[in-house]
Copies of this chain bind each other. A is one copy, B any other.
Amino acid sequence: MCIIKSINYKFDPGSWLPAKMKKRISIHDIARELNLSATTISFVLNGKAEEKKISEDVRRKVSDYIKKVGYQPNMIAKSLRTGKTRVIGMLVEDLSDPFFSGISRGIETIAYDHKYKIFFASTENDTEKTKALIKVFRERQVDGYIMAPPCGVEDEISALMEDNVPVILFDRYLPSLNTNTVIIDNFSGSYQAVKHLQENGFSNIALITLNSEQTQMHARLQGYSKAIEESGFQPVVQKLPCKLSHQAGAEMVREFIKQHDKVDAIIFATNYLAISGLQAIRDLGLAIPGNIAVVGFDDNTHFNLFTPSITAVAQPTEEIAQEVVHQLLNALSNERESKKRRMVMLPVKLIVRDSSFPKVIKKIVHSQPSTMKTS
């Protein structure tokens, strides 16, 4: 445990002089300096020069000066006065989860292009933590919310909507609430996954999912059940507790596989469940898809690099991000628009790879290692 640490030293010998902290320049300083009023400066600054008929002369004088001194307006003051912060509060389940960090990244880019900043926070799917975060965001007067909400925050969200604060939900929604929402076709995702496995000769298909009431998990279960039901086989569903470490998850999947030796294919309902599951299958020394086929939910940059590569239901993260921001900006910019509620459901794509076919044809090296099949 070599810690090469604390290369410690003092800096800047004379810097604690009478705390000279050169005060940041304000709009009034500029006004005084140029013998104008703050109002005029403000007009020029906010592009109202035309509208307010500020003379060309003054306009130039002001813009030259602010450039010269590098004036930076104080957004805090501006926000206090206008009531708008141009900040969006974003709540995801876990910022380090690739699905959420991918979406966050997309949203960040578009939002910054529109001069909005974002507070990101992870809810960990914890109702109380989420409530606290919403409270904090309210104190900070964020203009709008984007969230993948846990259950139990209906009241807080209603309160926001009653105060005309735009809220966009994504990934899941709250059935009792009429909100703007962007989700994907989870039902179709797992339905397709089952059908695909069946077409490739697998019949004892299990679903490993979370013990969660959230809509996206529910829809995935429904899609699975419907497809299984249509085929006349028996559904085999295992629900794992929500907050599970990677190791504990792997452990539980191992147990599940041991106790269900007839299962020849597993669909994992989230990306981290798939990772735990792959770990379990590897620990047990089973072959994919020889002993057991696998389909994941949420594609992952790495799934095509696994051996075998992993079939997955891919979510259109880029589009989700776009749609979410689009809805939010709409609601923010347009009083009338903000009264409408819309739910958008985006399609998923089943990315077929080696982990899910074929069961019967053995040892055939298929020339196309990674095919794509669209829903």
Contact with B along A281-294 (1 / 0, CB 8 A): 01000000000000
Q: Does A358 contact B (CB under 8 A)?
A: no
A364 at the interface (CB under 8 A from B): no
In whole Å, how far is A307's beta carbon from the nearest beta carbon of chain B? 4
Q: Is the CB–CB distance between A141 and B74 below 8 Å?
A: yes
* CB contact list, A266-309 vs B, under 8 A: 275, 278-279, 282, 300-302, 304-307
User: B76 near A163 (CB under 8 angstroms)?
Assistant: no
A101 (CB) vs chain B CBs: closest residue: B101
Please tell me if the beta carbons of A282 and B305 are within 8 angstroms of each other in the complex.
Answer: yes
Cβ of A164 within 8 Å of any chain B Cβ, yes or no, is yes
A341 contacts the other chain (CB 8 A): yes
Of the stretches A7-15, A55-63, A198-206, the one at the interface is: A7-15
Asked whether A262 is an interface residue with its Cβ less than 8 Å from the other chain, the reply is no
Residues 128-140 of A, flagged 1 when their CB comes within 8 A of B and 0 if not, give 0000010110111
Interface 1/0 per residue, A1-37 and B, CB below 8 Å: 1111111111110011000011000000000000000
Q: How many copies of this chain are found per oligomer?
A: 2
Q: Distance (Å) between the CB of A225 and the closest chain B CB?
A: 20
Is A260 engaged at the interface, CB distance under 8 Å to the other chain? no
Kindly list chain B residues whose C-beta atoms are within 8 Å of the C-beta of A305: 275, 278-279, 282, 306
- Is A315 positioned at the interface, with any CB of B under 8 Å from its CB? no
A270 to B64, CA, bound (A): 45
Which bucket holds chain A's interface residue count? 35 or more
Q: Is A98 an interface residue (CB 8 A)?
A: yes
Asked if A264 CB lies within 8 Å of chain B CBs, one says: no
Q: Confirm or deny: A65 has a beta carbon within 8 angstroms of a beta carbon on chain B.
A: no
Q: Is A96 within 8 A of B104, CB to CB? A: yes
- In angstroms, how far is the closest chain B Cβ from the Cβ of A88? 11
Closest to A132 in B: B112
C-alpha gap A11/B336 in the complex (Å): 11
- A7 to chain B: which residues have CB within 8 Å? 342-345
Complex CA gap A101/B100 in Å reads 10
A119 at interface (Cβ–Cβ under 8 A)?
A: yes
Name the distance in Å between A296's Cβ and chain B's nearest Cβ.
12
Which 7 pairs of residues, A with B, have the shortest CB-CB distance? A96-B105, A307-B307, A101-B101, A11-B341, A4-B345, A75-B139, A95-B105
Q: Could you jot down 14 A-B contacts, CB within 8 Å?
A: A4-B347, A5-B344, A9-B341, A21-B164, A72-B135, A72-B139, A73-B139, A76-B80, A76-B140, A76-B141, A95-B101, A96-B102, A275-B301, A302-B306
Residue numbers of A with Cβ under 8 A of B are: 1-12, 15-16, 21-22, 72-77, 79-80, 85, 94-96, 98, 101-102, 104-105, 108-109, 112, 117-122, 133, 135-136, 138-141, 163-164, 178, 185, 246, 275, 278-279, 282, 300-302, 304-307, 339-347, 375
User: Given known contacts A3-B346, A96-B105, what 19 new A-B pairs fall within 8 Å (CB)?
Assistant: A1-B347, A2-B185, A2-B375, A6-B342, A8-B340, A9-B340, A10-B339, A11-B178, A73-B139, A95-B101, A96-B101, A101-B101, A108-B121, A109-B122, A275-B301, A275-B302, A300-B302, A302-B306, A306-B307
